[in-house]
Structure formats: structure tokens, C-alpha cells
Chains A and B, each alone.
Chain A
Amino acid sequence: DGGITQSPKYLFRKEGQNVTLSCEQNLNHDAMYWYRQDPGQGLRLIYYSQIVNDFQKGDIAEGYSVSREKKESFPLTVTSAQKNPTAFYLCASSIGTGGPREKAFFGQGTRLTVV
């Protein structure tokens, strides 16, 4: 089945450690996105990538890093520089950008807790 997979579903890390969240899609989509969601809030864009080997900062990129070496994969690293990393992280993909091409498919999310 085609889809977008995030792993793990729950992640616990100690303060000061970097952690990498996985996002894989087999939809052959060019565009991929990372969002952060805090309780009772909407989604905020961290990074997005419109094509392999290219990515752009979103609204809240500080303390995060990404790579896009393969079309299928867009991992997100939460670094120790991120002040409040505990959140629900969502990965999405779309065929491309612009109007109907941005029909997005989301993963089930990774809930990161930093203690």
C-alpha cells in the first residue's frame, strides 16, 4: 500500500541529546514537509523540501535540521539547541507545490518527549 510512514510513534530522550525522526514515503511525491503541533494548537511548519537535495526553512526552523538525499526519505533531527522540543511531529508529502498538487498526505506522527 502506498503511504507515508513515520517512526517511532513515541520517543523519549534526555535533555541535551540530539534525536532523529524518520519519515519515509512510497508515493513518488516530490514535496515533503515537517510540522510541529503543540497541545490545542494548529500545525507549524519546520522545514519543507520541493525536490531531492533541496530544502527550505519554515516558520520555526531554529534548533532543527533536515536532509533530503533520497526522494522517499526526509529525516528530521531535533538538536539540543531546540529550547522546547517536546511536541507532536508530523511529516507530510504531496505531488508537488501549487494548487491541487499540494493535496497532502500525512504520517501518523511521532510524539517526542524530552525529560
Chain B
Amino acid sequence: DAKTTQPNSMESNEEEPVHLPCNHSTISGTDYIHWYRQLPSQGPEYVIHGLTSNVNNRMASLAIAEDRKSSTLILHRATLRDAAVYYCILRYLGGSQGNLIFGKGTKLSVKP
């Protein structure tokens, strides 16, 4: 699977928007972009996924660059409950032998 690169940490103020970047310059045309987040001492939670078009759901928005070499997870109004580690991963349409590769992700801190 193609690799992703994320900043180690980011800070945000409560009720402000947060833009979490992810670089995936070796992405293939059939790789889906998935985002998960992990709160302390819990299992990861699915946030959103997309292929080419921007996606919105109740948790967040996913903005995908036109060349698909990067994407941004957008939290429209950060809350203290959004403080977590955010993981960006790629999933090949044809199946990746089950190897969901989670790197260290981006640790998001939210200040009141």
C-alpha cells in the first residue's frame, strides 16, 4: 500500500475549524483515502473516506486535492472531545491483504 505522511501534532482552539493534512504522493488511481481517530485508551473510530470528490458527513469533511496526492480532514468547529490521534490511511480497491497500516498519526490538542 502507498504510504501517508502526517504532522506529528497540531493544536487548535475550541470552536475553531481544524485542518488536518495528509500527504500521499504515491497514491494510485484506485486507492481510497480513509481517516480514523483514536481517543485516549480507546479503539480507533472511523471518521470518513473518499476517492476523488470531497466528502461530508456528520463528523467531518474530507477535501481531496485534484491530483489526489494530498488530502485534508476538516473539523468545522473543534470541541474538547475532538482531542485525539487522527490517522490517514490508504486502502486499495482490489484489496490490500488486510493490512490496514496505521502510522503514528497526528495528535490533535484542543485548547478551551
Contacts and interface: CB of A to CB of B under 8 A. Distances in A.
B21 interface: no
Contacts of A104: 36, 44, 46, 100
Contacts of A106: 43-45
A12 B101 CA distance: 28
A2 B49 CA distance: 21
A44 B41 CA distance: 16
Contacts of B95: 96-98
Interface of B: 30-32, 34, 36, 41-46, 49, 51, 87, 91-105
Contacts of B103: 42
B97 A92 contact: no
10 tightest A-B contacts by CB? A106-B43, A48-B98, A99-B93, A43-B102, A97-B95, A98-B95, A99-B32, A42-B102, A102-B91, A42-B103
Given A42-B104, A100-B32, A56 B98 contact: yes
Given A31-B98, A48-B99, A99-B30, A109 B93 contact: no
Interface of A: 6, 31, 33, 35, 40-43, 45, 48-50, 56, 58-59, 88, 90, 92, 96-100, 102-109, 111
25 contacts: A33-B100, A35-B102, A42-B105, A43-B44, A43-B102, A45-B99, A45-B101, A48-B98, A48-B99, A50-B98, A56-B98, A88-B41, A90-B44, A92-B44, A97-B98, A98-B93, A99-B91, A99-B94, A102-B32, A102-B34, A102-B91, A103-B49, A106-B44, A109-B42, A109-B43
A107 B95 CA distance: 22
B41 A102 contact: no
A102 B96 contact: yes
A66 to B, nearest CB: 12
Contacts of B94: 98-99
A108 to B, nearest CB: 5
A31 B42 CA distance: 21
B100 A92 contact: yes
